[in-house]
Structure 1
C-alpha cells in the first residue's frame, strides 16, 4: 500500500482484496504494517458489490460501518495532514463487477471532502498486487521446515526398509548414486543425510543442496532435474517400492498442480508410481522455490495470490507425504516401527 500511495489517483481510493482466511486478522495485519499511513481496512460484512448501478450505495454502507474508526481524532488528523485516505475492502470473494467507478456523495462526518461528490473507483488488488518470492505471504520458512522434516522422515523409513530387505531399496539407490561422487553404499547415503540434517539448528532456515553435502531430498532433486518427464516414472516406481507404499494408500493421494504441468506423455496408471511421480516433482518444485526465494532480487514479483497458492499447494503435498511415510513406520505393514 505504501508503494501505491506514491502513485495514487486522488484523495480517496478504494481497494478490494479477497481473502479466504481470517479477515479480521488480515485487517489487523494491515493496520500494523501501515501504522503511519491514513489507511483504513474494512471487513466487508454486507452483501452487495454485484450491481454496477449500486456501487455508490454499497460503498456508503461500508463507510458507515467504519465510521468509528474513521472519525477517531488521531486517525482523522492523520488523514487531514496527508490529504488522502485509502480504504481497503476485505471480502471473502473476488470482485466481479465490470464497472467499479461511480460518483459518491461523502457523508457530512467524513474526514476529507465531507458532503462533496467524488468519483469512487474500486481497484481489485486480489490479483494485481505483486510480491517478491521471498515475501512473507509465500511462507518460505514453512516450506523449508517441511522439506527438512521430509528429509528426516525419509531417512527413518528407508533405513528400516533397508534393514528388512536391502533388495527393496536397490533400484532407488542405483538411480540416486548415478552422477554422484562418494556414495559407496546405501548406508553412506543415509548417514550423510543424517549428518547434514543434524547440523541444522533452525529447520525454517534449511536449504537443500544438490552439490554440497546433499541429503536424500538433495539427491532426489538432482536426479529429477536431470531426468526427462517421460523417464521420471522409473524413478517414481523405485521410490514407491523403497518406502513400501501400497496401492490403497496411494490412491486418491493429494496431487499438486506441478504434477499436472510435469506429466509424462503417457498416463501413469499404476497408483504407486503416480504417488512417487507426484512426490519427486513436488520435491523438486519445493527446492526450486526455496532457492528462488533466496535470490528473489534476480526474479520478477508475482501476484500475491499466485505465489501463495503455489506455496500452499506444495506445502500441502509435502505435509501429507510426511504423514503417509510416518504412518508406514507406525503401521508396521512391511516397515516396522523403530
Structure 2
C-alpha cells in the first residue's frame, strides 16, 4: 500500500490501537517498501515503564504460508533474541512487535495459541495468543490525517476537469448554442426568470477564472455559478436512472460519443443505473458519482471531528480509487472534440 510514511506519526498510530482484555503481547505488520526500514525502526522503537514497541526488520522469506505462522514467528524472535533480552522484564508489562517488511501482509489475520520462549521479556514461558495484524488496517485516524485522504490532489483534479469542461462549453455556446439548450434547462434548476446559454457560459467561465488556488478548490452544492456544483446538485436530487438520463444528455451536448469506457470507482458501481446506456453516458454517470463522492469526502475532511475514525488502509484505498478515476476522466474530457449537431 503506497503510504507516505513521512506524513505519519507511527508511534501515535500504534498507541491509537486499543489493547484487548488480557492482551500483553501483540504483533503488527508494516509494509515499508517506500522508506528505509532501518530509519523506520529507529523512528518507532520505544521503551517506557509499561509498554515497549520493538521493531524487527524481516530479512528472510517468512509468513507466506498460513500453516507456518507459529514456526516463522519463533524464528523471527529467536533471531532477535539478544535485543529482546535487553528489554528490562521488571518494568515492561506490554510489548508491541512491529514486523517491517517490503511486502504486503497477505495471510489471514487469525489468532493462534503459542508458548513464548522462557527468555521472552513479557509472558516468558507462558501460553498466549498470537495474531499478526496489518498496522494500517488496525490503526484508525481522522479523515485529514497526513495525506491519506488526498484532498489536495482531488481538489486540483476537480478544478482541472471543471476548467476543461467550461472551456468546451464556452466554445460550443459560441458556435451552436442550441446544442446546449436542453442541458442548460436542466442545470439552471434554481435560477429565477431563466438564463440563456450564452449567459450561463459567462457565469461558469467567470467562476473558474476566479479560483485562486486549485489545490484548495472545494465545490459546493449551493454554488450556482459553478458547473461542477450544479452537476453535484443534480446527483443530490436524482435517482440512479434519472442521473443516467442526464449523463446521456451531457454526452450529447459535449459531443462525447466516442472513446473507451472508463473504469468507474467502486462507489460508482454501487450506484449504477439500470437499462442500456452508451459508453459515453456510462463515463459521464461515473463522473457524476465521482464528483459527488469528492464533494462528500471534502465535507467530511473539513469537519473530521463530526465523523468516526477509519483505518488508514480504507481511507487511502478510497482516495486512490477516486484519484485514479478523476485522472482518467480529466484525460478523457481533454481529448473530446465537441461535434456540432443540428437541433
TM-score, normalised by the number of residues in structure 2: 0.76
What is the CA-CA distance between 1:93 and the residue it aligns to? 3.3
Q: How many angstroms does 1:326 deviate by? A: 1.5
- The answer to whether the 8 Å contact 1:39/1:85 transfers is yes
State the partner residue of 1:303. 311
Partner Cα separation in structure 2 for residue 246 and residue 327 of structure 1:
12
Which of 119, 122, 136 is 2:128 aligned to?
A: 119
Q: Partners of 1:212 and 1:120 in 2: how far apart?
A: 55
User: Is the Cα–Cα contact under 8 Å of residues 157 and 325 in structure 1 kept in the other structure?
Assistant: no
Q: Name which of 278, 283, 288 aligns with 1:280.
A: 288
- In the alignment, the residues of structure 2 paired with residue 194 and residue 150 of structure 1 have an alpha-carbon distance, to the nearest angstrom, of 13
Question: Shift of the alpha carbon at 1:208?
Answer: 0.7
In structure 2, the partner of 1:294 is: 302
Q: CA deviation at 1:298?
A: 1.8
Structure 1 CA distance, aligned partners of 2:60 and 2:201? 57
Q: Deviations over 1:170-225 (max 9, x none)?
A: 22211111234587233443433343344444323221112145411101001121
Aligned to 1:246: 257
The residue that corresponds to 1:320 in the other structure is 328
TM alignment of 1:60-139, pairs within 5 A: 60-63=74-77, 84-89=94-99, 90=101, 91-96=103-108, 98-105=110-117, 112=121, 119=128, 121-125=130-134, 127-136=137-146, 137-139=148-150
- Find the aligned partners of 1:25 and 1:170 in 2 and give their Cα distance: 57
* Number of equivalent positions: 320
- Higher helix proportion: 1
Q: 2:278 is matched with which residue: 265, 270, 274? A: 270
Number of the residue aligned with 2:230: 219
Separation (CA, whole Å) in 1 of partners of 2:23 and 2:16: 15
In structure 1, runs of 5+ residues without a counterpart are none
Q: 2:248, 2:281 within 8 Å by CA — same for their partners in 1? A: yes
For the 8 Å contact 2:143–2:310, the answer to whether it is kept is yes
Q: CA deviation at 1:226?
A: 1.1
Distance 1:322 1:256 in 2: 14
Map 1:161-180 to 2 at 5 A. 161-180=172-191
Deviation at 1:237, TM superposition (A): 1.1
| Contact 1:183-1:189 within 8 A present in 2 as well | no
- Taking the aligned partners of 1:203 and 1:67, their CA distance within structure 2 comes to 53
SS at match of 1:263: coil
1:154-233 matched pairs, under 5 angstroms: 154-181=165-192, 184-212=195-223, 214-233=225-244
Is this contact kept in 2: 1:49–1:55, CA < 8 A? yes
- Determine the structure 1 residue equivalent to 2:61: 47
Q: CA RMSD in A?
A: 3.7
Change (3 A) 1:227 1:60: same
Q: Gaps (5+ residues) in structure 2?
A: 1-13
Counterpart CA distance in 2 for 1:122 and 1:172 is: 56
3-state SS in 1 of match to 2:130: strand
User: Do 1:169 and 1:238's aligned partners in 2 also have CA atoms closer than 8 Å?
Assistant: no
